[in-house]
Amino acid sequence: MPPFVASRVRKLALTSKSAEVIARFGLRLAAMVAFAVLGGIGFERGLTVMLWMSAILSTVIAMYDREELLDSALNHWDEAGAFTALCCLACIFEPTSRFG
């Protein structure tokens, strides 16, 4: 590998890797809530769309990094599952005015 190409190989313990994933998830969620508050389409709809996009992005990154689906440490697959669950929860509580 040429010296100017950054290596993605990191040696992390299982607990530090899981802590990194939890911190990343919290920061992304805080940024999404902030953008949903400031967005012009409404908080519920904006948050739902951003959760949906984050679930897709986490899935793509997990496939790109070739992470194991049921690994012993948290990874992008777990993050995608959490974003998907929150998106489904947000869809349940979104106002039904769009149907009527």
Give residue-wise pLDDT tens across range 25-58.
Answer: 999 999 999 999 998 888 888 999 999 999 999 9
User: pTM of the prediction?
Assistant: 0.79
In single-letter form, the type of residue at position 55 comes to A
pLDDT at 80: 96
Report the SS3 class of residue 47: helix
Other Cβ atoms less than 10 A from the Cβ of 57: the count is 15
- Give the CB-side neighbour count of residue 61, counting CA atoms within 13 A: 14
Sorting pLDDT into bands at 50, 70 and 90, what band is 100? very low
